[in-house]
Structure 1
C-alpha cells in the first residue's frame, strides 16, 4: 500500500467510526504537557483526536517552529514577538507549564513535529501559517506529507495563488464568515476539502440546511470550532466547549452534530468523543 492509499484509508476509518472528526486545538495540554508541542499532540491522540491542529511561526532566519504568536508572555516569559527572534533565540526558549513552573521543554521545530507524526493515524491541520505559505508548503512536500496535511487560511488572492502553484493537491479549508468567499476559492486550482465556518448567531446561512446539504452534495467537509477562546468571542453561536461542560452537552456539542457538521475542533477531545459515541 502506498502512502496516499494509507491516508485515504485512515480518512475512511475516521468517518465510518463516528461520522464526525475531532480536531484537537493545539493538541491537548495541561499540567506539564504544553500546548503546540509533540507531547500535546501525542496526548491528543490518546484522547481520541483525529486531527492535530498546530500553529506555525517563522524566525527572522527563515526557520519554522510550532507556536501561536501572542502567547509569549504566558508560555515562554517574554514580551518579544517570537516572529522577530532568531532561530538561536527560539531554540533557547523554555516553556512555563500549566502550574506556571519553568520547565526544560523547548519550542518544537516544524520539521521535528512533521517527521514525528508522518504516517500516524491522524490528519494534521497546519493553521496560522499562511504568512509563509510558499516555504511552509515546500517543507510539507519535502517531508512527503501532502496527503496528511490540511491547510487553512482566510482565502486572500495571494494565498490562493501560492497554494495553486506550490501545493494544489494539499487539502484546503478556507476560513469563512461569508459564503461568497467560496466563489473566489473555486476560481483557483486547489484541493478544496471543505470550509471552516464561523457564525455568531443561529440564523446565519452557515446553519441552514440548504447550505450544509449543498456542501455535502459537493462532497465537501464543514469544520466548526467548539473551542471557547474567551468570555465574548462566539465561533459557533455559543454552542461551545464551555457551554457543553458547564451547562448542557446536547445543546452545545449535540447541536453541532445534529446540524451535520463534519469536523469539530475542541480543547476536550476525549469528552467530545465519549459524548458522540454515547449518542
Structure 2
C-alpha cells in the first residue's frame, strides 16, 4: 500500500472542499510484541494506510519524554507506580509486558527516538501530553518537526487553551463534547491553526452529533474528527458506530455512518481495514 507524505495529508486537512476521509491510527498499529506508542507501531500503521498516528507521551523523573498512555504502570509494567516516579534508565531496565502477558522484546521509547523514526513520514497527533507540552514543543523545534505535529486538548480546559493561543506556529485539533463550546474554536482560530475539531458523542441523540453541529462546523471550514474505537463495554465512542460494529456487520454499519454524518477524520485501531473500506466505497 502506497504511503502518503505528511505534506499530502496536511494539504487535504486544510482544503475545506476536499471531502476525502483521513485515517488516524490510535497509538499506532499494535498487537502481541508490537507495543503501542512505539516507532514500530507507528510505522506499521503508516504501512497499513494511516494518514496520521495518534500518540501519548509522559515525562520521566529525570525529565525525558517517553511514549506511554496510562496514568499508572499496572497494565504494561505490572507496577503500581507512575512513569514520573522513575528515570528513563530505570524504566528501560524494567520488563514491559505484551498483549499475551509475556515480557516483550521491545522496550519503552523516547520521544526523540519516535521523532527520528517518523520525520517527514506522517502527521503526528499528540494527545495525552498536556503536562509536558513545553518540552514536547522544544523537541519538535529541535527536530524541525513543528509543522508535522498536531496538538490535542479538551476545549473546555483553560490552561492548554492559553498555551495554544501563545503558540501561533502550532496546529491544534481540540476535543469537544458540547456544541455550545464551538465559539471557542473561533477564538482559538484567531491565534493559531485549527483545521478540525474532535467531537465526543456517546449517543446518537446528543447535540454534538446533530446535523446542526456538523453544519456549523462545515460552514466555518472546520473538519470533524471522531473516534470509532471499541476499547471496552463501558467506553462508547462515535455514538456506537465503532470499529467492532464495522468489523462484525460491515463498514457501512459503523465507519460509513460516521462518514455520512460528516466525519472526515476517523481514529481507529484498524487502519488497514478502514483503508480497504474507503477504497471500496470510493470505487462503488
TM-score, normalised by the number of residues in structure 1: 0.90
Asked whether the 8 Å contact 1:26–1:55 carries over to 2, the reply is yes
- What CA distance in whole angstroms lies between the structure 2 residues aligned with 1:222 and 1:90? 37
Deviation at 1:225, TM superposition (A): 0.4
In the other structure, the counterpart of 2:247 is 245
The one-character-per-residue Cα deviations of 1:38-64 (angstroms, maximum 9, x if unpaired) are: 111111111111110100000122110
| Aligned pairs for 1:105-254 within 5 A | 105-120=106-121, 122-155=122-155, 156-165=157-166, 167-188=167-188, 189-254=191-256
The one-character-per-residue Cα deviations of 1:56-113 (angstroms, maximum 9, x if unpaired) are: 0001221100011246223222121122222222232332223322133110101110
- What CA distance in whole angstroms lies between the structure 1 residues aligned with 2:173 and 2:110? 24
Deviation at 1:185, TM superposition (A): 4.3
Classify 1:261/1:145 alpha carbon distance in 2 versus 1 (closer, same or farther; 3 Å).
same
The one-character-per-residue Cα deviations of 1:218-264 (angstroms, maximum 9, x if unpaired) are: 22121100011210221211100111112342121110111111100
Asked whether the 8 Å contact 2:226–2:265 carries over to 1, the reply is yes
Matching of residue 57 in structure 1 with residue 52 in structure 2: no
In the other structure, the counterpart of 2:258 is 256
**Number of aligned pairs?**
272
In the other structure, the counterpart of 1:274 is 276
Asked whether the 8 Å contact 1:18–1:276 carries over to 2, the reply is no
In the other structure, the counterpart of 2:100 is 99
In the other structure, the counterpart of 1:3 is none
The one-character-per-residue Cα deviations of 1:148-182 (angstroms, maximum 9, x if unpaired) are: 111101132211222222x3222101111112223
In the other structure, the counterpart of 1:9 is 8
In the other structure, the counterpart of 1:31 is 32
- What CA distance in whole angstroms lies between the structure 2 residues aligned with 1:211 and 1:18? 17
- What CA distance in whole angstroms lies between the structure 1 residues aligned with 2:108 and 2:280? 37
Deviation at 1:142, TM superposition (A): 1.9
Classify 1:251/1:9 alpha carbon distance in 2 versus 1 (closer, same or farther; 3 Å).
closer
In the other structure, the counterpart of 2:90 is 89
- What CA distance in whole angstroms lies between the structure 1 residues aligned with 2:197 and 2:21? 15
Q: Which runs of 5+ in 2 are unaligned?
A: none
Deviation at 1:123, TM superposition (A): 0.8
- What CA distance in whole angstroms lies between the structure 2 residues aligned with 1:96 and 1:52? 22
- What CA distance in whole angstroms lies between the structure 2 residues aligned with 1:232 and 1:99? 22
Deviation at 1:215, TM superposition (A): 1.4
- Secondary structure of 2:173's match? strand
- What CA distance in whole angstroms lies between the structure 2 residues aligned with 1:242 and 1:206? 22
- What CA distance in whole angstroms lies between the structure 2 residues aligned with 1:218 and 1:184? 12
TM-score, normalised by the number of residues in structure 2: 0.88
In the other structure, the counterpart of 1:78 is 79
Deviation at 1:7, TM superposition (A): 4.6
Asked whether the 8 Å contact 1:23–1:265 carries over to 2, the reply is yes
Asked whether the 8 Å contact 2:242–2:255 carries over to 1, the reply is yes
Deviation at 1:145, TM superposition (A): 1.1
